[in-house]
């Protein structure tokens, strides 16, 4: 099998009480795993099975004959990125260069939080909220939202962190209250060190 399910970067109960072990068990062990199984079935026996995941995402994006491949490949990448966005480190906030850019581009960390929660809450149906660096605008930070499995792959747009706003991400812990989930995610779950690492790698 060419594509595999990366292990969670922490234990199932590591994010409690803010995200339950039950949520992670289903979200990683069933949803994320299903995307991996589906992509392996869809690419079995073809040269696509040996491709780099991001290369396959870019190849299939917008191609009407590769919709299934795109959806499953993108969901594998998005979930791995989402797991890494979170951590058991407890409450923390952006530091260093990321903090400076946030203050420059959003006014303050609090205003960024408001923009991010609003983006996630207003994404109609399933999707993701993202913090990205736009290198085509002199390294400006931007908040984006994408629908379903989509992700920012445009040249010059570098994802720094993401929040999964599909119902399966929050329904066990928050029922239908997506804004509550987004606030807990920002206040308690984001590992800003991961976003800072992504910023340093640009």
For the bound state, the minimum distance from the C-beta of residue 184 to Mn ion, rounded and expressed in Å, comes to 16
For the bound state, the minimum distance from the C-beta of residue 122 to Mn ion, rounded and expressed in Å, comes to 18
Cβ atoms of 42 and 116 closer than 8 Å: no
H or E stretch covering 131: strand 127-134
Among 105, 150, 164, 173, binds Mn ion (CB under 5 A): 164
Q: Please, which residue, 112 or 166, has the CB nearer to Mn ion?
A: 166
**What is the edge-to-edge ordering of all strands in the sheet holding 140-147?**
140-147, 127-134, 157-164
Q: Please, which residue, 106 or 166, has the CB nearer to Mn ion?
A: 166
Within its chain, how far is the Cα of 101 from the centroid?
Answer: 20
Tell me the window of 49-57, 97-105, 157-165, 178-186 that interacts with Mn ion (CB under 5 A). 157-165
Q: Please, which residue, 29 or 156, has the CB nearer to Mn ion?
A: 29
Q: Please, which residue, 77 or 192, has the CB nearer to Mn ion?
A: 77
Give the angle subtended at the CA of 163 by the CAs of 194 and 118, to the nearest 5°.
120
Q: Please, which residue, 31 or 61, has the CB nearer to Mn ion?
A: 31
Question: Would you state the torsion angle of the CA atoms of residues 26, 29, 34, 39, taken in this order, to the nearest 10 degrees?
Answer: 140
Tell me the window of 93-101, 103-111, 123-131, 165-173 that interacts with Mn ion (CB under 5 A). 165-173
Phi, psi of 180 (to 5 degrees): -65, -45
Cβ atoms of 43 and 2 closer than 8 Å: yes
For the bound state, the minimum distance from the C-beta of residue 165 to Mn ion, rounded and expressed in Å, comes to 9
Q: How many residues bind Mn ion (CB under 5 A)?
A: 2
For the bound state, the minimum distance from the C-beta of residue 24 to Mn ion, rounded and expressed in Å, comes to 11
H or E stretch covering 134: strand 127-134
CB atoms under 10 Å from CB of 182, counted, come to 22
Among 166, 170, 192, 194, binds Mn ion (CB under 5 A): 166
Residue number closest to Mn ion, CB atom: 164
Site residues, Mn ion (CB under 5 A): 164, 166
């Amino acid at each position: 099998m060419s594509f595999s399910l990366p292990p969670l970067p922490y234990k199932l109960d590591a994010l409690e009480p803010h995200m339950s072990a039950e949520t992670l068990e289903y979200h990683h062990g069933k949803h994320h795993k299903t995307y991996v199984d589906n992509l392996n079935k869809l690419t079995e026996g073809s040269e696509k099975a040996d491709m780099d995941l991001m290369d396959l995402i870019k190849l299939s994006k917008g191609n009407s004959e590769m919709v299934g491949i795109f959806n499953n490949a993108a969901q594998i990448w998005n979930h791995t990125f989402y797991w890494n966005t979170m951590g058991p480190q407890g409450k923390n906030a952006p530091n260093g260069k990321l903090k400076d850019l946030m203050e420059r581009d959003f006014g303050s960390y609090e205003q960024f939080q408001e923009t991010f929660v609003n983006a996630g809450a207003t994404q109609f149906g399933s999707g993701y909220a993202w913090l990205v660096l736009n290198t085509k605008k002199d390294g400006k930070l931007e908040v984006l939202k994408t629908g379903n499995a989509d992700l920012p792959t445009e040249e010059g747009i570098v994802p720094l962190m993401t929040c999964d706003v599909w119902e399966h991400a929050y329904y066990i812990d928050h029922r239908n209250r997506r804004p509550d989930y987004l606030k807990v995610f920002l206040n308690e779950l984001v590992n800003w060190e991961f976003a800072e690492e992504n910023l340093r790698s640009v």
